[in-house]
């Protein structure tokens, strides 16, 4: 029997929010074991986290450089690294591990510039390594089923897309200096050129791309700074033109009071429409011309078996965020395992958000910033 893969983590100390989520997602399928890490810039925090996670102290490292170099020399080196640090360090950390011959899973956004993202893509290709990006929502079962329905032409040619990702955590003013865990997100030195669009807007872009396969032709973005005018965006309105002639509108916000974590997607075609909400993730609303709309559940007999085969719990149970994230990791880990066995990877094996998707996310961020800085003007994608 092929043994479990091993992985390491950069960032994600015991006080981290997203690092813990990554570990839970990986653990859900039990196909990879955490064996090393550099969990914090403060080595004491790394040691404390490693002790809590029962990791051999010899494989707890003072920094990511040491971790990459030492792991690459080991006969039992890790199969992949999970990078869960703030945006500004993604490029340097991922680059180091790719140069060390180690596969990468990286938090989004991939980098803080498109140029950096392109460099990582080329480096991953050059070194024949797998590179995934943590676009978690693409793992939800009913979104994956919606993708199949759209591929089959069930709603016809797509005409319009309406999508929004809303949260309220920045609405409490003043924000700067009041929440150390999240304050970095609106700091350009750490977050890059964007906060709201880079943090949650890229999820909208990735889900729409995942569902439809459409490419953005041009966009028109207005990025607002309601809470901290001297920092980064906390709200954005984005008009989209797609390559098939369809149009769309995205609203992404961190100041929308009453919305803890609202991701809603509507895809409208010539024959019907599909709507999905992350807060009601088990269901798709499907409407077709001259038919009453239906709400299809995750437990429905109509859902394809190959979708159901990935279920962690039976269809009648609510599917959650960690399960969706676990599915992304499961696809990534399965691809690494197959490659490690010397088997040829097919396109269906790469059914997780890749470095190419990360590059498109960075292009989306930069084009939004460009459009907004030009006074809410149309820019080519």
The domain that contains 75 carries what CATH number? Answer: 3.40.50.720
Q: Which residue has the higher pLDDT, 169 or 75?
A: 75
320 located within any domain: no
pTM value surpassing 0.85: yes
CATH code: domain of residue 249: 3.30.360.10
- Report pLDDT for 171: 87
Whether residue 265 lies inside any domain: the answer is yes
- Mean pLDDT, residues 169-184 taken together: 69
Assign residue 128 a region (left: φ > 0; alpha: ψ between -120 and 50; beta: otherwise): left
Instruction: Tell me: do 293 and 177 sit in the same domain.
Output: yes
Residues 275 and 161 in one domain: yes
Residue 269 near residue 240, CB atoms below 8 Å: no
Cβ 91 vs Cβ 123: under 8 Å: no
- Residue 332 within a domain: yes
> Does one domain contain both 53 and 82?
yes
Q: What is the model's pLDDT at position 293?
A: 94
pLDDT at 186: 80
Q: Do 366 and 230 fall within a single domain? A: yes
Q: What is the pLDDT of residue 2?
A: 62
Q: How far is CA 367 from CA 58, 158, 193, 293, 378, in A?
A: 44, 23, 11, 36, 9
225 and 369, same domain (yes or no): yes
pLDDT for 15 beyond 90? no
Percent of the chain's residues with pLDDT above 90: 91
Torsion of CA 102, 108, 114, 120, to 10 degrees: 0
Looking at the chain, how many residues does it have? 381
pLDDT band at 373 (very low <50, low <70, confident <90, very high): very high
pLDDT at 220 over 80: yes
Total count of domains within the chain: 2
Q: State whether 245 and 192 are in the same domain.
A: yes
181 occurs within a structural domain = yes
Same domain, residue pair 276 and 344:
no
Residue 337 predicted with pLDDT over 90: yes
Cα(147)–Cα(134) distance, rounded to whole angstroms?
Answer: 19
State yes or no: pLDDT of 179 exceeds 90: no
Q: Based on the fold, state whether residues 11 and 75 are members of the same structural domain.
A: yes
| Tens digits of residue pLDDT in 85-125 | 999 999 999 999 999 999 999 999 999 999 999 999 999 99
Asked if residue 214 belongs to a domain, the reply is: yes
| Residue 197, pLDDT above cutoff 80 | yes
Query: Which domain covers residue 219, as residue numbers?
Result: 140-314+360-380
Dihedral (Cα; 364, 367, 368, 374), 10-degree rounding: 180
């Amino acid at each position: 029997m092929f043994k479990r893969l091993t992985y390491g983590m950069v960032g994600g100390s015991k006080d981290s929010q997203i690092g813990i989520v990554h570990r839970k997602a990986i653990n859900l399928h039990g196909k990879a074991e955490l064996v090393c890490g550099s969990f914090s810039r403060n080595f004491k925090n790394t040691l404390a986290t490693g002790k809590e996670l029962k990791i051999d102290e010899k494989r707890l490292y003072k920094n990511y450089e040491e971790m990459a170099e030492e792991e690459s020399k080991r006969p039992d080196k890790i199969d992949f690294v999970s990078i869960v640090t703030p945006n500004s360090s993604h490029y340097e950390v991922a680059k180091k591990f790719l140069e060390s011959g180690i596969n990468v899973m990286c938090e989004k956004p991939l980098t803080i510039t498109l140029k950096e993202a392109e460099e990582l893509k080329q480096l991953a290709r050059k070194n024949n390594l797998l590179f995934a990006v943590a676009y978690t929502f693409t793992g939800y079962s009913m979104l994956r089923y919606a993708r199949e329905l759209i591929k089959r032409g069930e709603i016809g040619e797509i005409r319009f897309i309406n999508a929004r990702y809303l949260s309220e955590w920045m609405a409490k003013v003043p924000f700067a200096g009041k929440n150390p865990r999240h304050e970095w997100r609106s700091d350009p030195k750490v977050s890059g050129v964007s906060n709201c669009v880079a943090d949650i807007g890229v999820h909208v872009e990735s889900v729409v791309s995942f569902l439809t396969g459409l490419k953005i032709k041009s966009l028109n973005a207005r990025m607002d700074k309601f809470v901290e005018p001297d920092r980064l965006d906390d709200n954005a309105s984005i008009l989209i033109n797609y390559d098939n002639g369809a149009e769309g509108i995205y609203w992404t916000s961190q100041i929308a009071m009453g919305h803890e974590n609202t991701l809603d997607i509507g895809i409208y075609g010539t024959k019907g429409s599909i709507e999905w909400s992350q807060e009601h993730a088990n269901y798709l609303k499907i409407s077709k011309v001259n038919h009453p709309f239906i709400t299809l559940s995750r437990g429905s007999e109509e859902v394809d078996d190959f979708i159901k085969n990935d279920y962690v719990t039976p269809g009648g149970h609510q599917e959650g965020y960690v399960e969706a994230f676990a599915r992304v990791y499961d696809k990534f880990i399965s691809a690494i395992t197959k490659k490690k066995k010397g088997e040829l990877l097919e396109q269906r094996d790469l059914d997780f958000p890749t470095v190419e998707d990360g590059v498109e996310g960075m292009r989306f961020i930069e084009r939004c910033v460009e459009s907004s800085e030009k006074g809410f003007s149309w820019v080519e994608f």
